[in-house]
Amino acid sequence: MLLWVFRFVFFVVIISVLIVNLTLPNISGEQDRSNFWVILWSGLGLAVVTLLVDILTPKKSLAALAGVFFGLLVGIFISWGLAQVVDMIHEIYNLGLDPSAVGAIKWMMGVAICYFIISVVMRTKDDVRFVVPYVEFAKQIKGARPLVLDTSAIIDGRIADLYRSKMFDAPLVVPRFVLNELQLIADSADKLKRKRGRRGLDILREMQSNPVIDVEIDDAMVAEVRESDGVDQKLVMFTKHCNGRLATTDYNLTKVAQVRSVDVLNINDLANSMKAIALPGETLQIRIVKPGEEAEQGIGYLADGTMVVVEGGRNKIGRELIISVTSSLQTSAGKMIFGRFETYAPEAKEESGVNNRRPGYANK
């Protein structure tokens, strides 16, 4: 609505300027009406063309506009220099051309050079370099670096909780190709994938409606991102291009981004770092739920989902045990605690006593 008001104000202003100029005595006089008609039609044509271009190009890119403007300036400067060369050649070789012919040559050469320079700048606007000395201008971003979300981080949902708790204040960026992948997952024929995709879309919509969270859907597609294969490669190139940080729960994507020198925030790493640390020698109460991979190993889980591997717990499935921690392992894929069976939990002793045995399992 504000944009349409601005367009209306522009139209009123340019019509007012046009009327003021047309009412000048030297323009509106009866002796020569050619100036009057030239100003009238050029003013109306300029206003209509400007509004049509503005309305018919809704998705504008500031970088593209800046590239066109820069290319036009460089093209005009080069055209002016070459125009002097054309005059010099005409005088030295005494070609005898009419001045209007020389002017036409200059105009056509100027248009061609401006087009060529703008085309080059538009194709290489992300790598503005000078040959001697070789200088590359890097984009300088003020404030917090943006956090680029991948599909797994959106579906995971914990990033929304972190922002609601105000632990982060960096803007969140969701590239358009990530949103497209999320939509493909939501439209999948697989029920589990479809459920995960719809969950991701719901979480994204919830974050957009939250005034505390700054979420932007980025439609920009630079050449390096467009030419990359696969969503993961596009994410890495997009994050590097916008000088941001990549937020993900994908272990393999984390490693690839680190190899490409892209800063990564793995939400699993963050969650693991906030879990309580189990030191060797401490005791834990755990319920064995399944056998482990190695002989005599049993597997249990803490309330937060941390897996506990218990030596001597394979034949105690379904029992509450007291174990002593021997070591712990924390990776991007999760956290594991290793322990050794010490005794049964007090509740288990009171309920079962010495003769409480389960069929198929022997007590030690």
- Let me know whether 118 and 40 are in one domain: no
Reference 208, options 200, 181, 187; nearest CA is: 200
Question: Is residue 151 in a domain?
Answer: yes
Only one residue has tokens 């890097």, namely 138
pLDDT in tens, 97-108: 777 777 878 888
Query: What is the rounded CA–CA span in Å between residue 154 and residue 325?
Result: 35
**SS3 of 254, please?**
helix
- Indicate if 91 and 130 belong to the same structural domain: yes
Shared domain for 169 and 230, answered yes or no, is yes
Which of the residue ranges 9-18, 41-50, 59-68 would you say has the lowest mean pLDDT? Answer: 59-68
Could you tell me the residue range of the domain that residue 19 belongs to?
A: 1-58
pLDDT in tens, 340-353: 998 888 864 444 44
Residues 299 and 219 in one domain: no
Average pLDDT over residues 158-178: 86
Residues 66 and 53 in one domain: no
Q: Clarify whether residues 188 and 269 are in a common domain.
A: yes
| CA nearest neighbour of 336 among 305, 299, 307 | 307
More confident residue, 144 or 94: 94
The answer as to whether 362 is a domain residue is no
Percent pLDDT > 90 in the chain is: 9
Nearest to 358 by CA among 310, 319, 325, 322: 319
Does residue 158 contact residue 167 with C-beta atoms inside 8 Å?
A: no
User: How far are the Cα atoms of 9, 51, 56, 187 from residue 2, in angstroms, in the given order?
Assistant: 11, 15, 17, 36
Do 93 and 167 lie in a common domain? no
Q: Are residues 222 and 262 in the same domain?
A: yes
Regarding predicted confidence, which is higher, 160 or 32? 160
Arithmetic mean of pLDDT, 57-81:
75
Same domain, 326 and 338: yes
**Residue 259 domain-assigned (yes or no):** yes
Q: Is residue 344 included in any domain, yes or no?
A: yes
SS3 state at 157: coil
Residues 151 and 269 in one domain: yes
Confidence of residue 192 (pLDDT cuts 50, 70, 90): confident
Confidence at 363, pLDDT banded by 50, 70, 90: very low
Q: Is 39 a member of any domain?
A: yes
Residue 360 falls within a domain, yes or no?
A: no
Task: Find out whether 269 and 250 touch, Cβ atoms under 8 Å.
Answer: no
Domain count, the chain: 4
pLDDT tens-digit profile of 210-240? 888 888 888 777 777 777 788 888 888 888 8
Pick the last residue of a domain from 236, 255, 273. 273
Instruction: Judge whether 278 lies within some domain.
Output: no
Residue 173 belongs to a domain: yes
Is it the case that residue 10 has pLDDT exceeding 80?
no
**Domain match, 166 and 226 both:** yes
Run of H or E including 301: strand 297-301
